[in-house]
Structure 1
Amino acid sequence: MSNLFIVVGLKAKAGKEDELRRDLAEIVEPSRKEDGNIRYDLFEDRDEPGCFVFVEEWESMEARSKHHEQGPHIQHFHANGVRNVEKTEFARLLKRVV
């Protein structure tokens, strides 16, 4: 089975861009250290500060699910940092074409 690729876009609430940037940055390194993680990168739109994009690659859906459902850093974000998110702009599970 091929690797799982995911992209997720989050928009910060007005005035909460710096807080969300900090909160999201804090989950990157622990996520990279998880079993099954291949890539976990955070980007911010150059033209629209406060629009963040995660690019993730996992060995399997199981590894990604464990990260999302059991990772203490993710659970902490859902309990605290998500308050600074205006909306999820997109969340896509991708398959490599070529």
Structure 2
Amino acid sequence: MTELFIVVGLKAKEGKEDELRLDLSVLVEPSRAEDGNIRYDLFEDRDEPGRFVFVEEWSSTQARNRHHEQGPHIQHFHDNGAANVAEKMFAHMLKRVV
């Protein structure tokens, strides 16, 4: 298996920062409990509240895909919380160099 690192940046719609913070926060613990998850952390920009970054590490692409495509908490977010997202600023799938 090849480990996979992911960073994703999301910007909240104006006035929806608190709602998106909650929407994203409830994803963390269930995601950490998933098979193949190594790291799943949520950060918010200190200078620009409402700009969030996920840092994820998965044991394999397959584990990440199961999470993203089958995780009930992720599906719930896509069906409900994603409405509070103004923009996906970036999404990078990374491999370790050193």
Same fold (TM over 0.5): yes
- 5+ residue gaps, structure 2: none
Superposed CA offset, 1:36-93 (max 9, x none): 0000000000011000000000000000000000000000000000000001000000
Tell me the TM-score normalized by structure 1. Answer: 0.98
Tell me the TM-score normalized by structure 2. Answer: 0.98
1:59 is matched with which residue? Answer: 59
1:83 is matched with which residue? Answer: 83
2:21 is matched with which residue? Answer: 21
1:72 is matched with which residue? Answer: 72
1:19 Cα deviation from its structure 2 partner? 0.1
Distance 1:97 1:36 in 2: 21
Distance 2:75 2:96 in 1: 29
Residue identity over aligned pairs, in percent, reads: 77
- 5+ residue gaps, structure 1: none
1:12 is matched with which residue? Answer: 12
What amino acid maps onto 1:43 in structure 2? F
Q: How many residues align?
A: 98
- Moved segments of 4+, more than 2 Å: none
Once superposed, what is the RMSD of the aligned Cα atoms? 0.6
